[in-house]
Amino acid sequence: MFWFAGSAVAVTVLAGITTTLRYPALTPISHPFLAILIAAVMVIIALRGVLPESTERLVAQACTGLFAVIVAVVGAVLHSAGEFSPRQPEVVAAGTDVQVVSWRQDDMSRQLLLLRLRSRDGLLSRDGTTDVACFLDKVGGAYPDWTFASATVTGDLLVARTADGQEWRVTFDPATLRPTTPAIDRCTAAPGYPG
C-beta of residue 97 within 8 angstroms of C-beta of residue 120: yes
Rg (CA), the chain: 22
CA angle 90, 96, 87 (to 5 degrees): 5
Q: Return the DSSP state at 137.
A: -
pLDDT of residue 56 exceeding 60, the answer is yes
CA dihedral 76, 81, 87, 92 (to 10 degrees): -160
Handedness of CA 73, 76, 82, 86 (dihedral sign): positive
Better-predicted residue by pLDDT, 13 or 71: 71
Q: Determine which of 13-17, 32-36, 177-181 has the lowest per-residue pLDDT on average.
A: 13-17
- What does the pLDDT read at residue 140? 62
Q: Rounded mean pLDDT of 129-144?
A: 81
Q: Rounded mean pLDDT of 18-27?
A: 58
C-beta of residue 107 within 8 angstroms of C-beta of residue 123: no
What would the pLDDT profile of 97-115 be if each residue is shown by its tens digit?
899 999 887 766 667 889 9
Beta strands in 36-190 (DSSP E): 90-94, 98-107, 110-119, 133-136, 148-154, 157-162, 167-173, 178-179, 184-185
pLDDT of residue 54 exceeding 80, the answer is no
C-alpha 111/C-alpha 122 separation (Å) is 30
Phi, psi (rounded to 5 degrees) for 142:
-80, 150
- What does the pLDDT read at residue 109? 65
CA angle 95, 96, 100 (to 5 degrees): 30
